[in-house]
């Protein structure tokens, strides 16, 4: 009974695939409380996900066929970045990763037996071999490479046309984050870097990453784009910066930092959401 009561008041981060249920009022988009989505809660298995500003939160997977209750809609997580508060968006990302992990670990990766929740929150234990499985994150680095008054930006074949960004890459087994930066710069654009320095990190729930941003300085080599990975890579002065990722992304944080250091105004940069010039 106590559990029911707490679910009724909890903020409910309900996902249908990659889309999250939100209540859309005239003036705001917000995360529904459990009691507003009681039918969905009854049909599923809510997972405790922590709290936001003292309010308990649950993550809930809903069936692909489920309809949104009246006054609510399912929306893509990326699009909610700009409309939810920072803490709620962070919890939405956490909830989506917990659900993805829960869904993908119904069976033990070691022996193939079914798993069950426990022995602690955010764990699933194997019923066959007792292995305990926890959510995994994939760390990835972002690297800005600066050479005097220029920054190296590159574009991948999957980018929005005209958009460039800093280099990015996944950490491989056995590497420090700084070593990943050095390897990625060498592989993706053929240049050597030095003075690799930590700037910031950010959870990135698409689907289960944590991004770690570094700055570095150019230390040698000619730009040679890696076939298949990098379509074009170039040096840009602050006045030449092309379309770049939207604010709030950590890539953009690195680019804005360079622009500020060069006396420019990051607010003047164009991103894929800017109106056409
Ligand atoms: Zn097992």
Query: How many CB atoms are located within 10 Å of the residue 223 CB?
Result: 17
| For ion ligand 1, residues whose CB falls within 5 Å | 108, 110-111, 113, 126, 128-129, 131
Q: 132: CA distance to ligand 1 center in Å?
A: 8
User: Concatenated DSSP letters for 216-251?
Assistant: EEEEE----PPTTT-SEEEEEEGGG--B-PPTTSHH
- Which phi and psi angles does 89 have, rounded to 5°? -65, -40
Q: Is the pLDDT of residue 110 over 80?
A: yes
- Which phi and psi angles does 33 have, rounded to 5°? -85, 160
Q: 156: CA distance to ligand 1 center in Å?
A: 39
Mean pLDDT over all residues of the chain? 92
What are the helix (H) ranges across the chain? Answer: 2-9, 38-43, 77-80, 86-104, 177-189, 250-261
- Which 3 state secondary structure label does DSSP give 115? strand
Instruction: Give the model's pLDDT for residue 26.
Output: 85
Q: 106: CA distance to ligand 1 center in Å?
A: 11
Domains belonging to the chain, first-starting first, are 2-104 (3.90.79), 106-135 (no CATH), 138-264 (3.90.79.10)
Residue 2 binned pLDDT confidence (cut-offs 50, 70, 90): very low
- Using CA atoms, how far apart are residues 240 and 236, in angstroms rounded to an integer? 5
Q: 134: CA distance to ligand 1 center in Å?
A: 13
Q: 118: CA distance to ligand 1 center in Å?
A: 14
Q: 263: CA distance to ligand 1 center in Å?
A: 57
- Which 3 state secondary structure label does DSSP give 79? helix
pTM of this structure? 0.83
pLDDT digits (tens, 9 = 90+) for 16-51: 988 999 999 888 899 999 999 988 888 888 999 999
pLDDT digits (tens, 9 = 90+) for 205-229: 877 889 999 999 999 999 999 999 9
Instruction: Give the model's pLDDT for residue 6.
Output: 64
């Amino acid at each position: 009974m106590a559990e029911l009561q707490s679910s009724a008041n909890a903020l409910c981060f309900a996902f249908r695939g990659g889309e999250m249920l939100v209540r859309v009022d005239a003036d705001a988009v917000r995360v529904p409380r459990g009691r507003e989505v009681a039918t969905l809660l009854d049909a599923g298995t809510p997972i405790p996900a922590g709290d936001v500003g003292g309010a308990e939160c649950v993550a809930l997977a809903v069936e692909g066929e489920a309809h949104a209750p009246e006054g609510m809609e399912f929306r893509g997580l990326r699009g909610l970045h700009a409309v939810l508060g920072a803490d709620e968006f962070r919890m939405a990302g956490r909830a989506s990763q917990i659900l993805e992990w829960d869904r993908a670990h119904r069976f033990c990766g070691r022996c193939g037996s079914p798993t069950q929740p426990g022995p602690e929150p955010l764990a699933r234990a194997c019923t066959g071999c007792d292995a305990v499985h926890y959510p995994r994150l994939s760390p990835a680095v972002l690297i800005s490479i600066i050479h005097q008054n220029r920054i190296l930006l590159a574009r991948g074949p999957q980018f929005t046309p005209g958009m460039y960004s800093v280099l990015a890459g996944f950490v491989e087994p056995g590497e420090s984050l700084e070593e990943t930066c050095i390897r990625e710069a060498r592989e993706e654009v053929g240049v050597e870097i030095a003075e690799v320095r930590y700037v910031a990190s950010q959870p990135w729930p698409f689907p289960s990453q944590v991004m770690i941003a570094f700055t570095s300085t150019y230390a040698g080599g000619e730009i040679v784009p890696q076939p298949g990975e990098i379509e074009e890579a170039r040096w840009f002065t602050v006045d030449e910066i092309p379309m770049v990722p939207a604010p709030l992304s950590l890539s953009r944080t690195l680019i804005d930092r360079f622009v500020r250091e060069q006396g420019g105004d990051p607010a003047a940069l164009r991103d894929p959401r800017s109106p056409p010039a």
